[in-house]
Amino acid sequence: EVQLVESGGGLVKPGGSLRLSCATSGFTFSSYGMNWVRQAPGKGLEWVSFISSSTTYIYYADSVKGRFTISKDNAKNSLYLQMDSLRAEDTAVYYCARDPVYTRGRFDYWGQGILVTVSS
Amino acid sequence: DIQMTQSPSSLSASVGDRVTITCRASQGIRNDLGWYQQKPGKAPKRLIYAASSLQSGVPSRFSGSGSVTEFTLTISSLQPEDFATYYCLQHNSYPWTFGQGTKVEIK
């Protein structure tokens, strides 16, 4: 069974940093591209960042470029998001989401989400 | 960036109704579009990929159609468990962008 479990969220002050983790199981993590998607309270979904299976390709939304860093450790089957210079508008539930290999499209499996609150 | 305009933003329907949700892309995206269902407090779930392909395990009452700039998600006979918010996603070019969502409520 495919599982993605986020951790590392919480309350942080504006300008602070936080590192999110996404532990995975049930699939060959090294073969899959991975993403972070967020959802501000009561709002819609926003794609944040993508990393390819071998980490060759990395993309960010303009809203987080230069402040967030995505990475993956294929040996630990884990995805990470280092978030620096956090702003109030980064407050959201953050989801890790897998890109499929055997079908087209994006985000075939999602974690349960983790809340990040940026407030003084 | 490609803008995805979803309509309606909300709708009220009864069990058994046929429901159609539309997504319009600001430029052509071939069929690089997916549909997702989200229930309150839960992660989104993929329903449709490549505009019209049904995700494994998703009931056949869900279907998708369209290409280039106009896409639709249809629920042929609305069931109680289908009351949720639905999002389209384009992944033709970065940044990937979602529609603003359609909340399907009970009439």
The answer to whether B49 faces chain A, any CB pair under 8 Å, is: yes
CA dist list (Å): A36 to A60, B27, B45: 9, 24, 15
pLDDT beyond 90 at A102: no
CA–CA separation, B55 vs B63, rounded Å?
10
User: Which 74-103 residues of chain A touch chain B by CB within 8 A?
Assistant: 95, 100, 103
What is the pLDDT at residue B106?
A: 86
| B 55-94 → A contacts, CB under 8 A | 55, 87, 89, 91, 94
CB–CB contacts below 8 A, A to B: 62
Q: Please check whether residue B48 is in contact with residue B55, taking contact to mean a CB–CB distance below 8 angstroms.
A: yes
Pick among B10, B96, B103 to test the A interface (most A CBs inside 10 A): B96
Tracing tokens 């959201």 back to the chain, one arrives at A92
Q: What's the pLDDT tens digit per position in B34-85?
A: 999 999 999 999 999 999 999 999 999 999 999 999 999 999 999 999 999 9
